[in-house]
Amino acid sequence: MSRIYVSTQFFEDGERLDLISLALIRESDDAELYRINADMDQKAVRTSDWLMDNAIPDLHLDETIREGVPRDALFNPADPAVHGVKDIAKHVGDFIAEAPEPVLTGLWASYDSVLIGRLFGSIDHRPEHIPVWARETKADHQRLGSPALPPERPKSANALHNARHARRTAQLLDACDDRRTLEAITYARYETGMREICGYIKQFGEDGTAIQPDALLNFIGRVEFDATSELRNWSRAMAERSA
């Protein structure tokens, strides 16, 4: 499995769902793809105060290009990131094809996967190598107890910045998940080890013989679990007390 971090900006009014921009980042090689939709309905986008105040001002990554936006337009056609829907569909398809077993991953990826499918007319017409569904890091965040997330870029609604944030978030959640797994394994080994050690001590108690410190410590060393320092100290004290 290889994650592709995804983020989109789009216009929606309850009837329409139109792409404004999208960004993809391949986990396998950190390659990035950022595209601005030259075919966006600029008149419709202008009706959204949020898009006009947040997404459109941050649409171009290069400040020089941003300053060159024509007065009557929402984007600068001179930006190499600007392409029509057909070209964007090809670029997205080629980009995802380079990832082994791709899984789309984003902070709020439900819309993202639909918008990518619509690049090809509909989800049913997408190339087979493009996933139908996307994995939301928000679900993993809640599953892991909502740990603190890395800070977002201030006042940014740019799709590429958001995809990078999704990558940082997923990596942090991976670390949290690995820690929880390690803690669970360690605890399971701890419980198993405690049962074995207690059984060993009980055996000597039933026989009425004293526990030899070296024998007990050697036994503890053979128990396959990650003993904490507290357990080591407890075991050593038990051995010394029985001597």
Q: Does 218 reside within a domain?
A: yes
Q: Please tell me the predicted confidence (pLDDT) of residue 7.
A: 95
Q: Which domain holds residue 218?
A: 188-242
- Is residue 225 within 8 A of residue 192, CB to CB? The reply is yes
Residues 114 and 226 in one domain: no
- The model's pTM: 0.72
Report the CATH number that the domain containing residue 159 is assigned in CATH. 3.30.420.10
pLDDT at 145: 79
The C-alpha angle 176, 9, 136, rounded to 5 degrees, equals 25
183 inside domain: no
Q: Examine the domain organization and report whether 96 and 174 are in the same domain.
A: yes
Residues 142 and 218 in one domain: no
My answer on whether 174 and 192 are in the same domain is: no
Number of domains in the chain: 2
Domain boundary among 130, 147, 178: 178
Is the same domain home to 135 and 224?
no
Note whether 87 and 155 are same-domain residues: yes
Quick one: three-class SS letters along 106-143? ECCHHHHHHHHHHCCCCHHHCCCCCCCCEEEHHHHHHH
On whether both 129 and 224 belong to a single domain, the answer is: no
Average pLDDT by stretches of 10, the chain with 243 residues: 93 92 96 98 95 93 89 92 97 96 89 92 87 85 78 77 90 73 53 58 54 56 49 52 48
Residues 107/169, Cβ–Cβ less than 8 Å:
yes
Q: Are residues 90 and 70 in the same domain?
A: yes
Same domain, 77 and 173: yes
Which of these three, 135, 151, 178, is where a domain ends? 178
Note whether 57 and 51 are within 8 A (CB): no
What's residue 179's pLDDT? 62
Residue 162 and residue 63 share a domain: yes
